[in-house]
Structure 1
């Protein structure tokens, strides 16, 4: 027996509300949370899990898709609440999750300060301080591409770099389901690249989407947008085509300039 539950939770920032979607996987022995929201969202996660009669103290594993603030923000607090929980991340992401290397997102935000108008710098500096406030935590298990975890009918690690170098998605072969993290998101009911301005390597991100076509995927769960409804494979092909077309247009624009 293996079940998958979506845990949509909201956060309001600067007057705008954003919904993120951690995922709960459960079988007879394991209760696994995939990503854990922004800082101070433990209570929201608990309430969302409670709708399925699942208590946070039953969690056994936390799988991190990558070290962005909205994916690891409540990680250290969750570890304090449930000390036995095992934290799992891709081998390239481990030093960032553990805080032995500076967050790539912080470095990106700091690099943008020099090109911002003076009026926008205070807001950017506040955002950097917010990113820096994330507490690290020790990783119990580092994983790599193609590794298959034995829980919940099998969880295959799919290394999907681009958004970040250590980004992973999770493929559940028994359910033909992909938990995409930020490899793809849903916008207006369609699959899209997650925040292109925050994608550290767009070419790698497109290659990662192409890699997903090798898997027998019938359902995609996006951290931003939730469950994709429709032909998943066809949607991935359409997204690849749109990305390739956009790259060609960008190259032509640069040549004109």
Structure 2
């Protein structure tokens, strides 16, 4: 049985080809989805899961790395269609996912709008509308930094803030796999900080890359870019040097 399955989901957005890589984790009892795409991505997930010979009904849990719209957009729809799914999130992220606090990405977009050149404002207005359209979803369980979930040989919660304050990555020591979320991305075969222009705290983001270096990682999976092919430790060190030089 494969314990770690990559759900590469290709789609068109703004006339550009994009791919996101949620992850499916399985053991004898649990099927766990990590992150769940943009709003209206329910059909994409059904197709991606079926490619692995499974059905969405098999999913028992969803772990959310943070509340950006491309990570929680389909969460409410998945939970509504499959109420048996337990939604798990970092404790700091819960009120944003539930809609009790305004999305930090929306706060950022609204606060920078007035300073944009006029030609950029139509795109920003569309982005703000899109952020406001994300449907809140329930959170059934919160987790803390350093906590280990008892599935798939253990899943350690690694707090990797920067991109957002409550961002987490997941480490599976049994397979030395790090699911990075947006702590790092792969661009043209190299690791980078995810969207530096939108990262809420770059110093924290670099510290989070340093935190990843504390783990013995054989397999690094990024939400944007998929699985990294190369020497993970050397690539992480090079990324830290790039942003601290």
TM-score bracket for the superposition, by shorter chain length: over 0.9
Residue in structure 2 matched with residue 173 of structure 1 by the alignment: 173
RMSD over aligned CA atoms reads 0.9
Residue in structure 2 matched with residue 239 of structure 1 by the alignment: 239
**Does residue 216 of the first structure (1) align with residue 220 of the second (2)?**
no
Residues 87, 139 of structure 1: 8 Å contact kept: yes
Q: Distance in 2 between matches of 1:109 and 1:163?
A: 14
User: What's the TM-score, normalizing by structure 1?
Assistant: 0.94
Q: Distance in 2 between matches of 1:19 and 1:2?
A: 22
Q: Distance in 2 between matches of 1:206 and 1:29?
A: 36
Residue in structure 2 matched with residue 45 of structure 1 by the alignment: 45
Q: Distance in 1 between matches of 2:96 and 2:17?
A: 27
Residues 2, 28 of structure 1: 8 Å contact kept: no
Residue in structure 1 matched with residue 153 of structure 2 by the alignment: 153
> How is 1:59-208 mapped onto 2 (pairs within 5 angstroms)?
59-208=59-208
- Superimposed CA distance per residue, residues 127-178 of structure 1 (whole angstroms, 9 cap, x where no aligned partner): 1010110111111111111000000111000000000000000000000010
Find runs of 4+ consecutive structure 1 residues off by over 2 angstroms: none
Query: How far off is 1:119 after superposition?
Result: 2.5
Residue in structure 2 matched with residue 17 of structure 1 by the alignment: 17
**Does residue 229 of the first structure (1) align with residue 226 of the second (2)?**
no
Query: How far off is 1:33 after superposition?
Result: 0.2
- Superimposed CA distance per residue, residues 108-134 of structure 1 (whole angstroms, 9 cap, x where no aligned partner): 011111111122212211110101101
User: What's the TM-score, normalizing by structure 2?
Assistant: 0.98
Query: How far off is 1:2 after superposition?
Result: 5.7
Q: Distance in 1 between matches of 2:137 and 2:14?
A: 28
Query: How far off is 1:218 after superposition?
Result: 1.0
Match of 2:206, SS? helix
Residues 7, 48 of structure 1: 8 Å contact kept: yes
Q: Distance in 1 between matches of 2:132 and 2:17?
A: 22
Q: Where do 5+ consecutive residues of structure 1 fail to align?
A: 246-257
Higher helix proportion, which one?
A: 1
Query: How far off is 1:83 after superposition?
Result: 0.3
Match of 1:142, SS? strand
Q: Distance in 2 between matches of 1:27 and 1:151?
A: 7
Query: How far off is 1:14 after superposition?
Result: 1.6
- Superimposed CA distance per residue, residues 36-71 of structure 1 (whole angstroms, 9 cap, x where no aligned partner): 000111111111111111100111000000000000
Query: Highest CA radius of gyration, 1 or 2?
Result: 1
Residues 8, 20 of structure 1: 8 Å contact kept: yes
